[in-house]
């Protein structure tokens, strides 16, 4: 069966529906949802139900779009306060750790296969980064509760190491197609991509916050669309000028997520759902692209590479990159174990296919085998291994992610009416500019005998009466501090 404009929506919607049902039940059987998404795609493919899909360029485009959403969503949910203490650990893992992993696996594969050294290093680069979609979805499930700093390291690494793997993939692909390429030019390209990616990511984050808060669209429903547009502008412009678009998108989202902006709660909810949708679409697409009858003959080679990656290359990269930091070995071993490979390596494996190099089909199928075995072996054992290495927290002590905390509908048990004098410093400011406490909200504003429902752009005027709800009366003290007003005595309330 060939995909056509007439049947693609029907087939796609059925596969999406089945994937959602699979995701709902998968953890009851200890199988990560991402594997089931891949499995459904393979089942529907040419070796299953017969859907013909053989377009690496289309799969690559879908992969790039999906990774933008996944990385952006992960960035929005990255709390700067939680990653600041482990920032340099994460950076070291996502750069030096990725390089060591790529080179060690590449040299091993060179020894056990008929690949040239550059072809083997290309394969190593493709699978050198942990997969953000796999790590985010599994770590944020209820089945894994980790000590908070360790969780922050893992999420920071998985969100920021794809750019390094991408640069290495493009560099080694260039060496395969043109062995005359100088290492000096590769190094200069690497620093150019990283510096431009980081700089433009933060710059577009600043521009995005000001654009969202200053522009007055008039329709609330268009704000999520505006953020999507800003996300793709960040990626495409950075890529256009030679920077790393994936790094730019992630850092842009981190900057945005740690600032207040209009409709923040709604946009975070939308992006959380969009990231899951993109994961499903991405894994289904890659599943359709894979032919199991081409993977099975390479199972021995793939298994050897996968086991070496899991038990040698990944631990080597982690331990060497974390040498400058004071960290217990059991934590290093657990970080090594959470080296999940998922869709990102398979997306990167489409680059050799499009470049039409001789070993491209073998690379693609071996990478696919490595990704699947990694998620099956490591993804299904994260909780158990966390207990073995004594890095697991009791369920009742499990930290809440920034997104969960922000979206959680906590009941507000304290209410107060606050009158704003005309000479108060907050007069004329928008609500989002006040730095209002997270545990309190302005539910209503009484103005000239009328009641209005405020949003982030609503300006505070003199003689307004703010009806404020908070979790308890202690939190109301922070509200009065923000409003530059004396705190009244709430008594025993």
The per-residue pLDDT for 184 is 80
Give the three-class secondary structure for 466.
strand
Query: How many domains does one find in the chain?
Result: 2
Question: What is the structure's pLDDT at 402?
Answer: 47
CA angle centred on 411, ends 486 and 435, rounded to 5°: 40
Final residue in a domain of this structure, among 387, 403, 419? 403
According to the model, what pLDDT value does residue 111 have? 95
209 and 237 co-located in one domain: yes
Residue 488, domain member (yes or no): no
187: nearest Cα among 200, 171, 201, 174: 171
Q: Are residues 420 and 483 in contact, defined by beta-carbon separation less than 8 angstroms?
A: yes
Blockwise average pLDDT, block size 10, the chain, 493 residues: 62 72 55 68 67 79 89 84 87 93 95 93 92 65 63 81 88 88 80 91 94 80 90 95 91 90 83 82 80 84 94 95 90 89 84 90 91 83 82 60 48 75 87 78 84 81 86 77 80 54
**Looking at the structure, do residues 368 and 452 belong to the same domain, yes or no?**
no
Q: Are residues 354 and 428 in the same domain?
A: no
Provide the b/e sequence for 389-421 (b: ≥16 CB within 10 Å). Answer: bebbbeeeeebebbbeebeeeeebebebebebe
Measure the CA–CA gap between 301 and 362, rounded to whole angstroms. 10
Domain shared by 335 and 419, yes or no: no
If we measure between CA atoms, which residue out of 372, 316, 404 comes closest to residue 139? 404
Domain-located, residue 46:
yes
Q: Is residue 492 part of a domain?
A: no
Query: Please, what is the Cα angle at 278 between 281 and 148, to 5 degrees?
Result: 130
> What's the Cα-to-Cα distance from 51 to each of 2, 20, 56, rounded to whole Å?
6, 20, 15
Q: Is residue 203 in a domain?
A: yes
**CA-wise closest residue to 183 among 92, 115, 121, 139:** 121
449 and 390 assigned to the same domain: no
Same domain, 328 and 456: no
User: Is there a single domain that holds both residue 137 and residue 229?
Assistant: yes
**441 and 302 both lie in a single domain:** no
Q: What is the CATH number of the domain that holds 442?
A: 3.30.70.1450
Query: Strand 440-447 and strand 414-419: pairing?
Result: unpaired
Residue 41 domain-assigned?
yes
DSSP string, 261-274: -TTHHHHHHHHHHH
Residue with tokens 């007055």: 216
Do both 385 and 420 map to the same domain?
A: no
Last residue of a domain, one of 335, 370, 403: 403
Which of 455-464 are b and which e, b meaning 16 or more Cβ less than 10 Å from the residue's Cβ?
ebbbebeeeb
In terms of residue numbers, what domain contains 33? 8-403
Rounded CA-CA distance 332/78 in Å is 21
Residue 1 in domain: no
């Amino acid at each position: 069966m060939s995909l056509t404009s007439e049947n693609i929506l029907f087939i796609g919607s059925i596969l999406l529906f089945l994937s959602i049902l699979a995701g709902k039940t998968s953890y009851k059987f200890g199988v990560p949802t991402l594997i089931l998404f891949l499995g459904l795609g393979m089942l529907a493919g040419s070796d299953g139900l017969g859907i013909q899909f053989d377009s690496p360029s289309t799969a690559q485009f879908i992969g790039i779009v999906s990774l933008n959403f996944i990385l952006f969503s992960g960035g929005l949910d990255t709390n700067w306060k939680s990653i600041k203490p482990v920032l340099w650990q994460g950076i070291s893992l996502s750069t030096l750790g990725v390089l060591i992993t790529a080179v060690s696996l590449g040299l091993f594969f060179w020894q056990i296969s008929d690949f040239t050294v550059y072809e083997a290093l290309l394969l190593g680069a493709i699978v050198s980064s942990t997969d953000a979609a796999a790590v985010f979805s599994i770590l944020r499930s209820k089945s894994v509760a980790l000590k908070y700093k360790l969780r922050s390291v893992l999420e920071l690494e998985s969100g920021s190491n794809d750019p390094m793997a991408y640069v290495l993939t493009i560099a080694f692909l260039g060496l395969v197609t043109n062995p005359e390429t100088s290492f000096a030019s590769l190094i200069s390209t690497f620093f150019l991509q990283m510096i431009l990616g980081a700089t433009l990511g933060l710059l577009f984050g600043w521009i995005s916050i000001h654009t969202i808060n200053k522009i007055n669209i008039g329709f609330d429903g268009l704000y999520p669309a505006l953020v999507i547009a800003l996300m793709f502008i960040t990626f495409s412009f950075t890529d256009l000028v030679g920077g790393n678009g994936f790094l730019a998108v992630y850092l842009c989202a981190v900057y945005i997520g740690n600032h207040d902006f209009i409709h923040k709660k709604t946009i975070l909810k939308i992006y959380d759902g969009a990231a899951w949708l993109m994961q499903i679409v991405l894994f289904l697409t890659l599943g359709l692209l894979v032919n199991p009858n081409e993977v099975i003959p390479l199972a021995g080679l793939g298994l050897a590479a996968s086991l070496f990656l899991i038990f040698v290359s990944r631990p080597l990269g982690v331990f060497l990159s974390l040498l400058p930091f004071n960290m217990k070995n059991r934590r290093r071993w657990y970080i090594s174990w959470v080296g999940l490979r998922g869709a990102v390596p398979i997306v990167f494996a489409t680059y050799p296919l499009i470049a039409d190099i001789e070993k491209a089909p073998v690379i693609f199928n071996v990478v696919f085998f490595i990704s699947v075995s990694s998620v099956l072996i490591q993804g299904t054992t994260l909780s158990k291994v966390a207990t073995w290495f004594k890095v697991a927290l009791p369920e009742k002590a499990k930290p809440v992610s920034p997104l969960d905390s922000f979206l959680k509908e906590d009941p507000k048990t304290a209410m107060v009416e606050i009158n704003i004098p005309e000479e108060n410093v907050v007069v004329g400011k928008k609500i989002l500019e006040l730095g209002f406490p997270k545990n309190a909200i302005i539910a209503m504003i009484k103005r000239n005998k009328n009641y209005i429902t405020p949003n982030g752009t609503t300006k505070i005027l003199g003689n307004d009466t703010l009806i404020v709800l908070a979790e308890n009366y202690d939190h109301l003290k922070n509200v009065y501090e923000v409003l530059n007003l004396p705190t009244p005595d709430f008594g025993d309330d």
